[in-house]
Amino acid sequence: MLHANRTRAECFGAVAELYDRARPTYPEELVDELLRGGARNVLDAGCGTGIATALFAARGCDVLGVEVDARMAAVARAKGLAVEVASFERWEDRGRRFELLISAQAWHWVEPSTGATRAASVLADGGTIGAFWNLGDPPAHVREVLAPIYSRLAPELENYSVVLGKSHGRVAQTAAGLAACGAFEPAQETWFERTETYDAAAWVDFLRTHSDHQTLPPAQREALLDAVTDAIESIGGSFAMAVETVLVSARLRPRAATA
C-alpha cells in the first residue's frame, strides 16, 4: 500500500516552497463542516506546509501541526503555525488531547488501522477525525493529448497517477481503517465541488509537487514535463478542471462504549 513507500511519502520537502505555492487550498465549506460541532483545539496530522492548518488557525482555532519532513515544517512555521517534526505514528503526544484531528492530503501516508487507533488515542471524548483530499480529473480533451505522452515517457504513471484521476480507493481505505479500529462511529463522506483553471506552467508546477512525478529519474521527469507543457500550449495554453474535495469524517464513540 502507498503508506509503505517511504521514499515517496517523504519526498515533498525537496520542493517545499513550490508545494506551498502550487497546491490548491481547501473549501471554506469544509472548514465550516468540521467546526460546526464547536471544536477549537485541533491537531493537523501530516500538516505539510500548513495549507489546511492556516485555514483553521484563521478561524481562531488553537492548531498544532505534526509533520515528518523538517523542510515542509519550516514553511509552515514561517506562517506563524506551531509544528512538531515527527511521523504521526511516532509523535509524542505527551498527554495532549484534541477536539478535532484533521489530515489534509496526507492520511494515505498513514497505515489505515494503526493511524485510526492512534487518532482515537489523542482525541478528547466526543472528538472527530476528518481526513480530506482534493481530487481532480483533467477534462477529456486534455487527457486526449496527455495520454500518448505518458504512454511514451512515463508508462508507469499512465494508469496510476492521482493527477490523472486515479484516487486508488483512498476514501474506502480510510473508512475501512476507522471501522476496523472500533473506536469511531460509522464514517461519513462529504463532497465539495469547484473548478480550478491551470495554464501550462501552473499545471507543470502542480505535477512537480506530486510524489509519483517527483520521484521519477530527473531526466525522465524533465522530458515528461517538457512534453506536457508543449501539449497544453497546443490546446490553447490553459484548461479548466473540475475538482472535488472529499472529506471522510467520523466521531469518536463514547469511551465507555468501547472499553
Place of cell 484521476: 165
Place of cell 509533520: 67
Phi then psi for 6, rounded to 5 degrees? -70, -25
Q: What is the pLDDT along the chain (259 residues), one digit of tens a residue?
A: 544 445 665 678 789 999 999 999 999 999 999 999 999 999 999 999 999 999 999 999 999 999 999 999 999 999 999 999 999 999 999 999 999 999 999 999 888 888 999 999 999 999 999 999 999 889 999 999 999 999 999 998 876 666 665 555 888 999 999 999 999 999 999 999 999 999 999 999 999 999 889 999 999 999 999 999 999 999 999 999 999 999 999 999 987 654 4
Give strand pairing partners of 66. Answer: 45, 84
- Dist CA 53 CA 76 (whole Å): 8
- 203 by Cβ neighbours in 10 Å (0-12 / 13-18 / 19+) ranks as buried
User: How would you classify residue 165: left for phi > 0, otherwise alpha for psi between -120 and 50, otherwise beta?
Assistant: left
Domain ranges of the chain: 2-138+165-195+242-258
Interstrand relation of 98-104 and 123-136 (parallel, antiparallel or unpaired): parallel
What is 2-138+165-195+242-258's CATH number, 3.30.1540.10, 3.50.50.60, 3.40.50.150, 3.40.570.10? 3.40.50.150
- What is the DSSP code (8-state) at residue 50? S
Closest to 97 in 3D by CA, of 73, 68, 119? 119
- Dist CA 146 CA 230 (whole Å): 10
- Dist CA 58 CA 80 (whole Å): 11
**Residue 210 host element (H or E):** none
Q: What dihedral angle (degrees, nearest 10) is formed by the CA atoms of 11, 15, 17, 19?
A: -70
